[in-house]
Amino acid sequence: MSSKRKMNVADIVMIFFLTGVAITCLVPFLYMIALSLSSNNAIISQKVTLWPVEFTLETYKTILSDTEMIYTLGYTIVLTVLYTFACMFLTICAAYPLTKKRLKGRNTILTLMIFTMYFGGGLIPTYILVKNLALTNTMMGLILPGAMSVFNMIILKTFFTELPENLEESAAIDGCNDLGILVRIVLPLSLPAIATLSLFYAVDRWNGFQDALFYITDKHLFPMQLKLYQIISANQQLDTQQGEGSVGAYIVPESLKAASVMFATVPILLVYPKLQKYFVDGVMTGAIKG
């Protein structure tokens, strides 16, 4: 392709359009930052757009001195790490044997796994099960019920299948058993795929809300999203019931809500750029070959 061709009108239009779209993705964050650093008076009198008005760090001081908030952050980090480990463990355990064509019953097992992607018991039977297993109001209740995604397992299985076979063969000749091959050969070669899927699991858990809403009623066990939901939805009902335009007395000020949103988003913003290259490549390989 003639990549040194001069920029023409179409290029300029496309660049403008894409820049516009990218800006729409960023503006909400700028506004959240502006809100969280503005005084509540300025917000209620509608002075804030993309720049803080009557600059103050009060909201962040409030959040950082709120022991419950810090506890929730720590708890959610621990939860996310444990969940990611559990998921990756099960995913690897399932994906590796299923790459072996010689394994008897492989197709049956695979079919039974894929079936669960398209049909399941639904929210309530799962809820009853979790309740019967005494997992409600436990950290395990947020880890075990979703501890493996068949979809991710298939991505990993595809990745394993693509690895050069002769490496495994030579290891087998050297007397390595299947477990040894998995740990010493297959896993070290699969780090990009493992990193990608770990990120997906971690993001799922970090962002997970529904199961926490269903299973957790004890405030000490609230993960970040549930806590954030409580903060944001406080008085929101009030506002919509009074109708637009009315400025009521806010128990949780908007600036604090914005700061809480930023507080829950920052971990993602910190991790995301570093892992981006990894996961794009990971998804691409999975997509092309799967």
Partner 1 sequence: MIKLKAVLDNEDLVQMSRKNRKNSFLHALKRDYLLYGLLLLPIAYLIIFKYAPIYGILMAFQDYNIFQGIGGSEWVGLDVFKFIFHQNSFYRALTNTLVLNLLDLVAGFPAPIILAILLFEIRYVKFKKATQTVLYLPHFLSWIIIGGMVYLIFSSHGMANNLLNALGLGSIEFLSQKTNWLIMYVIVGIWQNAGWGTILYLAAMTGINRELFEASDIDGCSRLRKIWHITLPGIKHTIIILLILQIGRMVSIGFDRPFVMGNSLVSEYSDVISTFVYRVGIGSGDFSQATAVGLFQSVVGLIFLVTANYIAKKVGEQGIW
Phi and psi based region of residue 163 (left: phi greater than 0; alpha: psi -120 to 50; beta: remaining): beta
Candidates 122, 166, 188, 249; binder of partner 1 (CB under 8 A) is 122
The amino acid sitting at 95 is A
**Smallest gap from residue 21 Cβ to partner 1 (A):** 7
Q: Which stretch binds partner 1 (CB under 8 A): 57-65, 73-81, 183-191, 268-276?
A: 268-276
Q: Which stretch binds partner 1 (CB under 8 A): 57-65, 70-78, 187-195, 241-249?
A: 241-249
- Check residue 9 for interaction with partner 1 (CB under 8 A): no
From residue 153 to residue 192, the character string flagging contacts with partner 1 as x (rule: CB under 8 A) and all else as - is x-------------------x---xxx--x----------
- Check residue 283 for interaction with partner 1 (CB under 8 A): yes
Q: Which stretch binds partner 1 (CB under 8 A): 64-72, 160-168, 183-191, 222-230?
A: 222-230
Q: Which stretch binds partner 1 (CB under 8 A): 76-84, 158-166, 189-197, 263-271?
A: 263-271
Query: Under rule CB under 8 A, which residues in 52-91 are in contact with partner 1?
Result: 89-91
Q: How many residues does the chain have?
A: 290
What is the Cα–Cα distance from 38 to 108, expressed in whole angstroms? Answer: 60
**Smallest gap from residue 116 Cβ to partner 1 (A):** 4
Candidates 81, 93, 183, 191; binder of partner 1 (CB under 8 A) is 93
Candidates 165, 244, 249, 251; binder of partner 1 (CB under 8 A) is 244
User: The tokens 């009623």 sit on which residue?
Assistant: 217
Count of CB atoms situated within 10 Å of the CB of 19: 10
Candidates 240, 249, 251, 274; binder of partner 1 (CB under 8 A) is 240
Query: Under rule CB under 8 A, which residues in 193-212 are in contact with partner 1?
Result: 203, 206-210
Candidates 12, 64, 70, 128; binder of partner 1 (CB under 8 A) is 128
- Check residue 249 for interaction with partner 1 (CB under 8 A): no
Count of CB atoms situated within 10 Å of the CB of 170: 12
- Check residue 266 for interaction with partner 1 (CB under 8 A): no
What is the Cα–Cα distance from 3 to 25, expressed in whole angstroms? Answer: 29
